[in-house]
Chain A
Amino acid sequence: MPCRGRGRFSLLLPLALLPLACSPGDGGSTDSITLYTCVNDESIQPVISQFEADNSGTEVEFFRAPTGDLNARVAGDVRSGGLKADVVWACDPLTMQGYVDQELVGEWTPDNASGIPDQFRTDDYVGVAVLYMVAVHHDDVPAPSSWSDLAGPDYESVAVSDPNVAASALGALGWFSQAPDYGLDFYATLEDNGAEQVSTPDEVTNGVAQGLYQAGITIANSGYLAKDEGSPIGVVWPEPGAVAIYGPIALAQTSADSALAKDFISYVVSEPGQQILAEAGSYPTLPGVEGPEFPADAPVVYPDWPTITADRDALLGDYQKIFGG
């Protein structure tokens, strides 16, 4: 019976292999915190690396996922012993406010948060990066000068992103719905003129670059990246202003005593942290720190997030009557 041992081994092999897959690296005694975030890898990694380099013996472990998965993970945590993050870095205030309302995060902001403009912070969280909703247009059509131009006769096909999926689109919807001369009628006119809804701002950019749409509403980072790579598009900051959506960071309430978690938040809000973030391609919130391309005197407007939070369902319901879905 020469094969008996081999048979047993083959049964155990899959289990024996698992530790190989589970080896994240060497252990060692380090002070560590866990960060939950939806910020993309290219932006978050340099910030974490620099923080760890400045604070030897510390480690920032992180779980990074799109907002939907982040919400699901947090909801799962809450129902299985509590939030497992020390710090949460979200991509929009609406998501963060939901966590605050569940008493998962908040009740602390760092002292240096006072340097961040009021419109980017609350008593529970502080904005550390901004997404600007701007207009993109194909090179074959003239650049719009104001948002209302997109609803005019010069543009037969315009792309917008889905506010049910992208918080940046929801921020824009919230601002337009309250802005004088716009309101939800702006979206109705766009739709009447043949505008189409896609999922994300990146799809808007790609659609305009491919020539599927003449123009669209997207985020500035996406528009500039495509333009710099050679896509035939232009990026415009229309009047009365690009819509600013900030990504806030907050301390988990269960980590209120974690000095390292507080240090990390303070670092991201500080000038060096904001500088690293800016170099990684994000727009910082701290005035004076130079970020990606930002035209001189570019107009900017700010959505009223408390109102959007309160009216979200009605707002999305009314929007759904226009674009369906």
Chain B
Amino acid sequence: MPSRPAGLGWRFGVLAVGAIIALLVALPVFRLVYVVWTEGSASLHEIFGRPGLGEAVVNTVLLAAAVTVVAVPMGTLVALGLRRADVPGRRWWRFALLLPVLVPEFVLGYSWTQAYGRAGFTDTILGLPWPSVLGPWGVWAVLVVNTVPLTYLFAAVGLATRAEPNLERAARASGAGAASVLRDVTLPLLRPSIAAASVLSFVLTLGSFAIPQVMGTPAGFGTVTTRIYRDLSLGSDPLSFVEALALALLLVAIAVVVVLPADLWLGPRLRITRVAHPEGAPIVTSRGGAGRWIAAGLGGYLLLGVVVPLIALLAAAVTPAVGVSPSPSNWTFDNFLLVLTSRNAEALGRSAVLAFAAAALLTLLGGCVSVLERRRAGRAMASLVTLTLVLPGSTLAVALLITYGRWLGSGLALILLAYLAKLWAFAHRPISGALDRLPPGELQAARASGAGALTAARTVALRPLAPALLGAWLICFVTALHEVTMSSLLYGPGSETLAVVVLNSQELGRIGPTAALSILLTLVILVPAVPLWMLIRWLRSPRRVRGGARSRSLAHAH
């Protein structure tokens, strides 16, 4: 497939997607550079020489590195552990591991302070506070919990596509121990997937804002994104605004240094054409209860990382006032009633429709880049769509406002553009991984039998790609629904989204209603997630795949 000469359709595809990348990524970034250059070039040395900036840059890079070196091995270990057939409830764990992603980022950070901080849940109940939860250690821990599901997904996809069970069995039969097989056979094969997860984890942490702001700033721990927020907060004078934009571009520069070489090096190595077992290669399980230990470890991780913080949040939501004991006699649902208004419901509905549309378009765009990047002409696209992922939401929103605000005004159209620009890489990376598993022979056979390009793609490619497409859609939908920063800056009169409701609640400064709203937001995602999980499981079930393959064979025979 890769060696075929580029046709007209292919060239059109490259041009069309290239144009969209130019509109969504290149032009807004260029506008930021232009504003910084025209309005702040004389002050750049002053901006970058300001006290504390060096420390913020070091903090940001160290934090990104510290999160990556822990989250990537953890995600990989979890994926390796869940290959074992002796882990009780293996399929359930695969779903449960995604829980941290389903909880909004700002809710996760906030709930940790309620759970483990001084006067928090564990302090009140057990007398066990963790004072460092506010500060670099707390920020690091929550970011790790938030990143592990992503690195796990990468490792799981890597295992499904790259593992060589026969090689592993051969090594075991030749007398190699489990550790040797892991070190000498499995991990070297997984190396490109691990490296890709590392790049994304690093870039995501560079641009993370909500958790450092909620948990780091009170302890004097600043990052580049919290500094940008500070500049904007007191930035009604033009220089502070230019400083915020310059710092955002600094993040882009750091991302370029990391992403571009990694993509150029990794791209060709990540691409394989071999079809692997879709559930990951099963291995021989050893006896001795290791599976139970793995399940216990996963349970502990989820309990401490998500469940206890959410319980703390629930306790705050049913407590009438801060400082009042969360004992059953004090429980009230007033906080829930306060946020359950028709106006909030309308905003939620608007956000849901917007997130639905954004996720659908992103899945399409992600698929396009995944296909086009397999040729030389489209290779840089994957790196380019990652650049806007690292831009802090506020800066990307400003970039789109100054690029398109003149024509689009403010409102949902601009918010949609912001979602597409910010989340394109989110949609692209999982689809790109799944495309490797697509058997090229079947597509060619369909075309040779007279099927048009679209029919061949629909009947042959779409079915095996369905889980990945649904996964990409889901991750974009959830992220878009939770997004606060960009939509709160870009919404127009009469088009309030969920973000406006969330910010209003937070700003009123009352913990009870904020906690109640956070619980409801988490439920809004969790409740539909269960049937969707069942749907994905059904789509991936071997019986259905075999049935689909059989019906395709029959269709070809006719």
Contact = CB atoms under 8 A, between A and B. Distances in A.
Nearest to B508: A40
A65 B217 contact: no
Contacts of A210: 118-119, 322-323
Chain A binding surface SS class: helix
B22 to A, nearest CB: 18
Contacts of A206: 322, 509, 511
Contacts of B236: 71, 74, 94-99, 102
Interface string B402-422: 111110011111001000000
A18 B412 contact: yes
Contact of B509 (A95, A203, A230, A324): A203
A138 B322 CA distance: 12
B397 A72 contact: yes
B535 to A, nearest CB: 16
B364 interface: yes
A72 B509 contact: no
A41 B491 CA distance: 15
B504 interface: yes
A77 B323 contact: no
A38 B493 CA distance: 14
A205 B321 CA distance: 11
A24 to B, nearest CB: 3
A81 B403 CA distance: 10
A64 B394 contact: no
Among B52, B353, B413, B495, chain A packs the most CB atoms within 10 A around the CB of B353
Contacts of B357: 14-15, 17-18, 21
A13 B361 CA distance: 10
Contact of B356 (A17, A167, A199, A203): A17
A18 B394 contact: no
Nearest to B501: A41
A296 interface: no
A267 B411 CA distance: 28
A186 interface: no
B209 to A, nearest CB: 11
Nearest to B462: A7
B441 interface: no
A80 B32 CA distance: 12
Contact of B232 (A69, A97, A323): A69
Interface stretch (A50-58, A173-181, A221-229, A234-242): A221-229
Interface in B463-521: 488-489, 491-495, 500, 503-504, 507-512
Interface residues of A, number: 80
Contact of A71 (B117, B233, B403): B233
Contacts of B488: 65, 69
B103 interface: no
Contacts of A205: 322, 509
Nearest to B490: A73
A279 interface: no
Contacts of A226: 321-323, 510
A325 B220 contact: yes
B241 A68 contact: no
Given A205-B509, A231-B322, A232-B323, A24 B234 contact: no
B130 interface: no
A100 to B, nearest CB: 9
A299 interface: no
Contact of A231 (B323, B410, B491): B323
B218 A229 contact: no
A25 interface: yes
A42 B509 CA distance: 12
Contacts of A211: 119, 323
Among B234, B401, B404, chain A packs the most CB atoms within 10 A around the CB of B234
A197 interface: yes
Contacts of A112: none
B324 A231 contact: yes
Nearest to B412: A22
A17 B232 CA distance: 34
A66 B398 contact: no
B29 interface: no
A201 B244 CA distance: 24
A55 B519 CA distance: 40
Contact of B323 (A18, A98, A233): A233
Interface string A176-220: 000000000000000000001111111101100111100000000
Interface residues of B, number: 72
Nearest to A221: B509
A236 B495 CA distance: 41
A71 B322 contact: no
A130 B321 CA distance: 25
B289 interface: no
Interface string B30-63: 0000010000000000000001100000000000
A312 B237 CA distance: 11
A164 B238 contact: no
B398 A76 contact: yes
Contact of B458 (A7, A61, A165, A325): A7
Interface in B234-256: 234-238, 240-241, 244
Interface in B512-558: 512
Contacts of A141: none
Contact of A63 (B244, B364, B394, B491): B491
B504 A81 contact: no
B271 interface: no
Contacts of A98: 235-237
A14 to B, nearest CB: 4
B229 interface: yes
B320 interface: yes
Contacts of B238: 75, 102
A22 B411 contact: yes
Contacts of A323: 220
Nearest to A164: B230
A64 B321 contact: no
Contacts of B323: 138, 209-211, 226, 230-233
11 contacts: A14-B357, A17-B353, A24-B495, A68-B230, A74-B236, A226-B510, A230-B320, A231-B323, A232-B324, A312-B234, A325-B52
Given A18-B357, A98-B235, A226-B510, 18 more contacts: A13-B360, A22-B495, A40-B508, A41-B504, A63-B492, A65-B489, A68-B394, A76-B401, A196-B218, A200-B509, A203-B218, A212-B117, A212-B118, A222-B509, A226-B322, A226-B323, A229-B321, A230-B321
Interface of B: 35, 51-52, 117-119, 213, 217-218, 220, 222, 229-230, 232-238, 240-241, 244, 320-324, 349-350, 353-354, 356-358, 360-361, 364, 394, 397-398, 401-406, 409-413, 416, 454-455, 458, 488-489, 491-495, 500, 503-504, 507-512
Interface of A: 1, 3, 7, 11, 13-15, 17-18, 20-22, 24-25, 34, 40-42, 61-69, 71-77, 79-81, 84, 94-99, 101-102, 138, 162, 164-165, 167, 170, 196-203, 205-206, 209-212, 222, 225-226, 229-233, 312, 317, 320, 323-325
Nearest 9 interchain pairs by C-beta:
A202-B509, A24-B494, A98-B236, A61-B493, A76-B401, A80-B405, A209-B323, A229-B321, A14-B360
